[in-house]
Structure 1
Amino acid sequence: MLIQTFFQDLRIGLRVLIKEKSFCTLAVTVLAVGIGAVTSMFSVVNGTMLRGFSFPNADRLAGVQVVDPTQSNPFGFNSQIFSLDYEAMREQQTSFEMMAAFINGATVNVTADGTPKRYTGAYVSADFFRILGVRPVIGRDFAPRDDQPGAEKITLISYQLWQRDFGGSPEVIGRSIRINGKPATIVGVMPQGFAFPVNEELWIPLYAEYPPTPRNSPNAQGNQPGVLALLKPGVSFDQAQAEFSGLAKQLAAAFPDTNKKFDTAVIQPLIKTFTPPNIKGLLWTMLGFCVGLLLIACVNVMNMQFARATLRAKELAIRSSLGATRIRLIRQMLTESLLVAALGATVGIGLASWATGYLNAATHSGENPIPAYIVFNIDVPVLVFVVSATMLAALVSGFVPAWMSSRASAVDALKESGRGNTSRAVTVITRSLVVMQILVSSLLLVGALLQLKSILRQNQIAWGYDNGAILSARLALMEGDYPTPEARKLFFDRLLRELRANPEYEGAALTNRFRMTFSGFGRIEIDGRAYAKDEDRPNTNFEQVSEGYFETLKARIIEGRDFALDDTDAKQPIAIVNAAFAHKHFGNESALGRRFRTVGNNGQLFGPWRTIVGVVSNVRMLGPFNNPQVDDTGFYVPYFSSVFGPALPGPVQQQFATVIVRPRANNAADIERRAAVLATTLQREVNKVDANLPLYFVGTARVNQESFLGVNRIIASMFTLFGGIAVLLSSVGLYGVMSFSVNQRMQEFGIRMALGADTQRILQMVLRQGGVQLLIGLGAGLALTATVAVLARDGIATQLFEISPLDPLTYTTVALLLTAVAFVATLVPAQRATRVDPMTALRAE
């Protein structure tokens, strides 16, 4: 019986919606926008955090970290595992079937058929792929004998690399190539689409490239790998964490110089390890924005349903008088709401499918793509979410109007003079819904504008030099061709001579700064000042640079001198500080001759006392993102000096470097226009020194710096879109309610005008009604937004660049914008009210 009546209600509902095309089209469009937005965003959250990995052993995969429990921030834990720590824990632990160490996102220089190329690769221990449950499609996996210091170099390559660079030939197995300057053999090809941990194209045994080194070695390349593991069946993450925290405490006691504060383990599902807290917070915030949009859409449709219910009062009264129960009337109207929501969901899924396709392409094709395992699509969990959102939308938008309409008096509705005027309760509800729309819109708009201002600030950073006039490139000197620090120094010295002798360049220099964007930071102490604990020591930026660096940038030496070619730590440890450093630590006094030293390993590892020989103008040393642990102060040391640890008698082992040149050109625009040609020229100069050394990340400093903003721009665009849709939906909702209210009060306005009220009085009445709703909604919305900003200030601040979550200009802009939108949405119905003809309004039906 219930099923039969449901299909009957369905047929009636379809006829009603076909008859009311305008309502149906508008309601479906509004709900489609809301459902499409929330579906798209949920697919992002699902693909990033919820779905996890598709590996066979995904549910038992664990990330292993050893952390300092006193040092945490929104970006994650302050963690540390040396290779020797990993080996010690692996031998003693009982919670995992297997453990593996890895270094991801690494540079790998490959020469095949005489052509050098740089690839993104990973160095992994022998059990890495067995833990994941993944095998090569052709060839073999790594064996324990391959992961030993001095072992013959081998590699596994990705399916994409195999197809692109080796033509998909099965003869690739056993193929000889050169990797990092040493002969190597390809032993296998991984499955299509596999690029784990991030976007790697080939994999190399870890210890064959980076043997374990002493914990405090200043030249310990690859000495702190990431660690993943496979839980034994029946062992929980909490049990593993308890065991590894005990092991961490043992290591902290045995090696206090390096491990003292790292005495706690964090064992969690691998997907959580790969998703930092700030990313989680951002994604949940964006999903919350989309839920807000869906809520506004549902409120709009609810208001439309109230209007329909008023116009259908006689129909409902007739059905009631013919025997329809109140439950049946509610079911009928809810069925219509479900039909509207279902149509909205169908269109919304189409919008979401397009949006997720766009997001996939945009986030995977940039300079810094997101990990390959993160894919946004409309899968089963997303579809379940869509169905849930659809049912919720149907209930939220349809139940209250249906319930209120079903309780109307049939006698009153059937009176010939009845004009369908709404009850006081319905009036209060519809106006309250408008207030809610304005409240939610103000919250979304403030968030959207803060994000937009943040990205604009990132694009307008003052770097302290003309970053469009500098060409930069990254290079890596691997052990095969450059086994010693001295060999690397000889290469760099010769390279600088070649570049400076080239008449196309005004200057050339070296820096350790990655893509001219960031270098590093650490704690220091100023000579003569006492520090009770490590946290009291100030954090500051550092950079290793060659002589000529400031001249190439055209940064000004304010006081003292530049570095000289013979400046070394063996001769005298020195440093140049920026103006911000000098002002912060020495005020108006001269910084020349003052001393400071670096402090590492939680106050256990001290660098030599460095004498300040120069002060340079402020060149931004932070990247285009927030780092709450450090300000804009910074210092520079000679390129072959060690930043942390004792002074070395010889040059520090610089494996990676960024080379910068200032091409001779009329202006920066000319350099950026000729960037591709200049990059070829720079590669040619490098090949004069080493024909097998590839350059990568070649481009102007501006292009390299802006490459870090690609995903941020997408995020800012999405927040802006959410805010714009919220304003549009709210304005439509406000206009609809005000228009409906005016229509219902036409008789009242006619009477007032017949009794002498002028058009200005009528206009003021309608505008006052809209103004009260705006004032309540806007006031409550901004107050709620400010409260959230205060309570979650630290977390929100990490998502915003150089802008406060309580930025007064943003709040003022939102208030003015919503006021203007509300005024326009109210003015049109108000003007229609003033044009009422009293005789027409008073004419009896």
Structure 2
Amino acid sequence: MAMMLDLKYALRQLYKSPKFTVMTLGVLLGGLSIALFTFSFLYTTIYKPLPLPEGETALRLAVYNDGEFDMLTANEFKAVKEGVSLFSEMGIYRDQDVRMSKGEAGRNFFGAAVQARMFEFSRTKPLAGRTFTALDSLPGAPAVAVISEEMWADEFNRDPQLLGQAIELNGVQTEVVGIMPQGYRFPHIARIWLPLQDTVFDAQAPISEQFNVYIRLKEGIEATHAEREITQVLRSLQLQNQQSYGMEAVQKQARIMTFQMAQTGGEGATVFLFLSAISWVVLLLACINVGNLLLARILEKQKETAIRNALGASSGRLISQLMWEGILITVLGTFLSVCLVGALLDYVNVGLRSWLPGAGLFWWQYGLDGATLMMALVYMLGTLFMAVFLPAWRSTRQDINATLRDGTRGAQSRKAGRLSRILVTTQVFLVALLMLIGSVSALIANKFVNIDLGDDYQNVMSTRYSTPERTYPSAQQRLNLTYALMDEVQSYSAVTHVSVAQWLGPRKVHFGHQEYNQEQTGTEIDTISMIGDFQTTGVRLLEGRLFNRADTMDKRKVVIISDSMAQRYWPGESALEQHFVMEIEGHREQVYVVGVVSNLMNPKSLFGRLDSADEIYLSGSQFVQTLQKLSYRILPGTTNAEQIFYRAMYNTAPNLDVKQTVMPAIKNRDKMRESMRFISHLTFATGAFALALAVIGIYGLTANAVAQRTHEIGIRRAVGARDRTIIALFMRQGATQLVIGLGLALLLFSVIAMGFQSFTEGLFPVSAYFVMACLVSIALTLVVLLAVYMPISRAIKLEPSSALRYE
């Protein structure tokens, strides 16, 4: 009965104070929604079990080579499968672009080349027909494929006679043997599945291809135990390969992780913690503000509470009465937050379908699931504790006699004033820190949005392909195929330039004129294999010549270097005909510089200037690669530009293994810029919301403090105190809280800035951090002082007689 009376009283109070109710509910709704959406989005992306039967036991096996995330080669997979008996299921796959042709027209689909038992691993049976058997992977076996239900519906109008018919995939007549159920896109975003040929295991270690490895551990086997055994096998194999083939020494470490974590390169936990921490800070700010607003109402009743306590009311009953307003607001805010986040997650699903090819990975199914609802409950309970229970509990932990003796009517108690100041200081600290970190994030995002990459991909089409080694076993055969394909593409009148390149990553370089200590084994410089015209991607020749077909494998090895490298190692002289030693494919090769080109942005220089890192271009005619990226520049306005490559491919090598759909090269760059622009906007929005929270919270606390000291203000004015003296008194108190909170935030930010500056090797000048700190300090100072000035300016407008009678 008493609880019902308290509840009715709280409802009546909220109804009588609509501004307070709406403001408190809005603050809480914003903080809860940001925290809950961030959790749900990251949890689904990184941690949520795969939406498959027994999806929680489906794992990926990866390897770290010298600390860098990588995939296993077929050679390594074979050794692990034979040397480790801890798996109940194990296999390999690779994502593959599949071209389906219908006469002169065609369309590309995301696909996967998989082993026969991959479908059994996913615990999913076909909707119609069959999946693969071991016979489908044998050399010379008839070409077969399994397609998705979506493809069956979209491309074949659910033709019931499709099974057993042949369709042209990658230039090969292929029999459709099965159709998978709706929504099935395992292992990533596949819509067509092809059998992975057993011949991939025949290649020797130096040229063995890399694959994704899926596993399921035997019951009772710990992942850490399996990792140790696999690591031993991989390191033993690596030593054998070093002795047999002269392969480069690499420190290997096996890692077993979920599909989701593997897709992030093993960095998912870091991303989750960083973004979650930001959302938690926002939620904490919201809780502080809600607590501030509720505390202000509680403080108004502090003497009433003391009197009721003195008359025998229990602390539990008093806390309950004081908490009901907060409980109602928190429960309603959580409910509205869940509804809003559910709508936002549905929007994300729709947005992914239009923004990302293939609508993203198959486990990206965002929505209100059990984990999200459970976290909403956790956030609600946390908010009830921090924003509702603590203020109510704190107000009842008072000395009744001291409270009844403290001050006069309407005066603010000393304890209440001290608590109010601590809350304002804490809020200033959190808002300042969030805004400072947000400023750095926005600055980084802006850097990437407007970054000069040193290339030009406008009007350039690109694709990736792999030359089948079983069809072209020798390096010269693969090179001849590359030349034939490039010539065929170049034969089209709409094509102006063609090139084939492959990023090889850092390679160790030894300069004869440079001394190395015992710990150094050379200088690592990013290396690119290149055939064709550099103008295809906008890189300019500054000195010397480009590669040509006379640079054959039996001639002296030649390289082209970036201008930054020429200036760094041969300042004041020509770099042409300079020579040095490179470690390539396990061998040391002496190479000669024949050209210098403009600088290119690479992974090492993403956090710096164009000339902060160097590039070496190897002649692709002398060091033949299997995996290649082909790019061709077209005339503006060319229609059906992607068909140029496919026609050239079918005229030269119909069985070419295309890894990536032909698309405008600028599209990938635009996606990166769009992502960074989105991060920039999100950062500013979060900072703006945090600033809004600061305005509401600080204003609410200050207004309450001023209201409780209105009687004091009236006395000061009655005895002759000037208005500006009274204003200065309150402003000094606000400034003290500002200086403490902002000072602590700037101190912590200086430590963060020094670490970031060291990590990015001076991406931004030190003055940039100083400017950010100044701008945030000025903005927050104006907000805090304005929040202090507004209520005091209203209070001094009261006549002294009215202020003295103020309750």
TM-score normalized by the length of structure 1:
0.85
- Residue equivalent to 1:444: 434
- Residue equivalent to 2:716: 752
- Residue equivalent to 2:589: 608
Asked whether 1:537 is paired with 2:522, we answer yes
1:205 and 1:597 map into 2 onto residues whose CA distance is: 42
- Residue equivalent to 1:47: 44
1:544–1:641 CA contact under 8 A, matched in 2: no
- Residue equivalent to 1:590: 574
The residue type paired with residue 218 of structure 2 is K
Asked whether 1:312 is paired with 2:285, we answer no
The residue correspondences of 1:61-80 to structure 2 (distance < 5 A) are 61-68=58-65, 71-72=66-67, 77-79=68-70
2:465–2:660 CA contact under 8 A, matched in 1: no
The residue type paired with residue 725 of structure 1 is F
Asked whether 1:632 is paired with 2:613, we answer yes
Distance 1:360-1:797 versus aligned 2 partners, 3 A rule: farther
- Residue equivalent to 1:36: 33
Alpha-carbon offset, residue 689 of structure 1: 7.3
Alpha-carbon offset, residue 167 of structure 1: 1.7
| Per-residue deviation, residues 651-703 of structure 1 (Å, max 9, x unmatched) | x355643322253xxxxxxx4xx4xxx24256358637747799976665543
2:461–2:641 CA contact under 8 A, matched in 1: no
1:283 and 1:400 map into 2 onto residues whose CA distance is: 29
Decide which moves more: 613-622 or 318-327. Answer: 318-327
Alpha-carbon offset, residue 524 of structure 1: 2.8
Decide which moves more: 187-196 or 435-444. Answer: 187-196
Say which SS state the counterpart of residue 522 (structure 1) adopts.
strand
Distance 1:389-1:695 versus aligned 2 partners, 3 A rule: closer
2:407–2:413 CA contact under 8 A, matched in 1: no
| Per-residue deviation, residues 25-51 of structure 1 (Å, max 9, x unmatched) | 221111111111111011012212332
The residue type paired with residue 38 of structure 1 is A
Aligned residues: 793
The residue type paired with residue 394 of structure 1 is L
- Residue equivalent to 2:640: 680
Among residues 128, 139, 152, which one is paired with 1:149 in the alignment?
A: 139
- Residue equivalent to 2:797: 835
- Residue equivalent to 1:658: 630
Distance 1:92-1:401 versus aligned 2 partners, 3 A rule: closer
- Residue equivalent to 1:647: none
Say which SS state the counterpart of residue 229 (structure 2) adopts.
helix
1:363–1:711 CA contact under 8 A, matched in 2: no
- Residue equivalent to 1:90: 81
- Residue equivalent to 1:22: 19
- Residue equivalent to 1:365: 354
- Residue equivalent to 1:381: 371
Distance 1:542-1:260 versus aligned 2 partners, 3 A rule: closer
The residue correspondences of 1:88-237 to structure 2 (distance < 5 A) are 88-104=79-95, 106-112=96-102, 115-207=105-197, 210-217=200-207, 220=208, 223-237=209-223
Distance 1:267-1:842 versus aligned 2 partners, 3 A rule: closer
Alpha-carbon offset, residue 535 of structure 1: 6.4
The residue correspondences of 1:402-481 to structure 2 (distance < 5 A) are 402-407=392-397, 419-468=409-458, 470-474=459-463, 476=465, 479=468
Say which SS state the counterpart of residue 94 (structure 2) adopts.
strand
- Residue equivalent to 1:666: none
- Residue equivalent to 1:667: none
Distance 1:624-1:108 versus aligned 2 partners, 3 A rule: farther
2:349–2:366 CA contact under 8 A, matched in 1: yes
Alpha-carbon offset, residue 833 of structure 1: 3.8
Distance 1:581-1:354 versus aligned 2 partners, 3 A rule: same
- Residue equivalent to 1:821: 783
1:547–1:638 CA contact under 8 A, matched in 2: no
Distance 1:455-1:739 versus aligned 2 partners, 3 A rule: same
1:95–1:239 CA contact under 8 A, matched in 2: no
Distance 1:632-1:259 versus aligned 2 partners, 3 A rule: closer
Alpha-carbon offset, residue 411 of structure 1: 7.7
Among residues 279, 293, 302, which one is paired with 2:282 in the alignment?
A: 293
2:61–2:255 CA contact under 8 A, matched in 1: yes
1:100–1:128 CA contact under 8 A, matched in 2: yes
2:12 and 2:269 map into 1 onto residues whose CA distance is: 46
Alpha-carbon offset, residue 118 of structure 1: 2.3
Asked whether 1:252 is paired with 2:245, we answer no
- Residue equivalent to 1:267: 256
1:453 and 1:152 map into 2 onto residues whose CA distance is: 56
1:512–1:543 CA contact under 8 A, matched in 2: yes
Among residues 768, 777, 785, which one is paired with 2:732 in the alignment?
A: 768
Distance 1:171-1:317 versus aligned 2 partners, 3 A rule: same
- Residue equivalent to 2:383: 393
1:251–1:259 CA contact under 8 A, matched in 2: no
Distance 1:466-1:97 versus aligned 2 partners, 3 A rule: closer
The residue correspondences of 1:470-619 to structure 2 (distance < 5 A) are 470-474=459-463, 476=465, 479=468, 484-485=477-478, 488-499=481-492, 502=493, 507-512=496-501, 519-528=503-512, 529=514, 536-550=521-535, 552=536, 555-600=539-584, 605-606=586-587, 608-619=589-600
Say which SS state the counterpart of residue 551 (structure 2) adopts.
coil
2:600–2:615 CA contact under 8 A, matched in 1: no
Decide which moves more: 700-709 or 33-42. Answer: 700-709
2:56 and 2:659 map into 1 onto residues whose CA distance is: 40
1:580–1:632 CA contact under 8 A, matched in 2: yes
The residue type paired with residue 28 of structure 2 is L
The residue type paired with residue 52 of structure 1 is P
2:267 and 2:344 map into 1 onto residues whose CA distance is: 23
Among residues 770, 777, 795, which one is paired with 1:808 in the alignment?
A: 770
The residue type paired with residue 19 of structure 2 is S
1:84–1:215 CA contact under 8 A, matched in 2: yes
Distance 1:808-1:138 versus aligned 2 partners, 3 A rule: farther
1:216–1:258 CA contact under 8 A, matched in 2: yes
The residue correspondences of 1:637-786 to structure 2 (distance < 5 A) are 637-642=618-623, 652=624, 656-661=628-633, 663=635, 671=636, 674=637, 678-681=638-641, 683-684=643-644, 687=647, 690=650, 701-786=665-750
Alpha-carbon offset, residue 591 of structure 1: 1.3
2:703 and 2:675 map into 1 onto residues whose CA distance is: 42
Among residues 332, 335, 339, which one is paired with 1:350 in the alignment?
A: 339
Decide which moves more: 358-367 or 776-785. Answer: 358-367
2:140 and 2:608 map into 1 onto residues whose CA distance is: 40
Asked whether 1:303 is paired with 2:287, we answer no
2:412 and 2:373 map into 1 onto residues whose CA distance is: 38
Say which SS state the counterpart of residue 739 (structure 1) adopts.
helix
Say which SS state the counterpart of residue 523 (structure 1) adopts.
strand
1:89–1:244 CA contact under 8 A, matched in 2: yes
1:39–1:385 CA contact under 8 A, matched in 2: yes
TM-score normalized by the length of structure 2:
0.89
1:140 and 1:682 map into 2 onto residues whose CA distance is: 33
Say which SS state the counterpart of residue 186 (structure 1) adopts.
strand
Asked whether 1:10 is paired with 2:7, we answer yes
1:180 and 1:587 map into 2 onto residues whose CA distance is: 50
- Residue equivalent to 1:334: 323
2:160 and 2:520 map into 1 onto residues whose CA distance is: 57
2:538 and 2:756 map into 1 onto residues whose CA distance is: 41
2:296–2:700 CA contact under 8 A, matched in 1: no
The residue type paired with residue 570 of structure 1 is D
- Residue equivalent to 1:645: none
| Per-residue deviation, residues 331-379 of structure 1 (Å, max 9, x unmatched) | 2222332221101101111221233223333345324664221232221
Decide which moves more: 51-60 or 254-263. Answer: 254-263
Distance 1:570-1:111 versus aligned 2 partners, 3 A rule: farther
The residue type paired with residue 630 of structure 2 is T
- Residue equivalent to 1:649: none
Alpha-carbon offset, residue 732 of structure 1: 1.2
Unaligned stretches of 5+ residues in structure 2: none
2:505 and 2:634 map into 1 onto residues whose CA distance is: 26
Unaligned stretches of 5+ residues in structure 1: 514-518, 643-651, 664-670
Alpha-carbon offset, residue 96 of structure 1: 0.7
1:532 and 1:364 map into 2 onto residues whose CA distance is: 54
1:82 and 1:522 map into 2 onto residues whose CA distance is: 19
Distance 1:801-1:61 versus aligned 2 partners, 3 A rule: farther
2:664 and 2:25 map into 1 onto residues whose CA distance is: 49
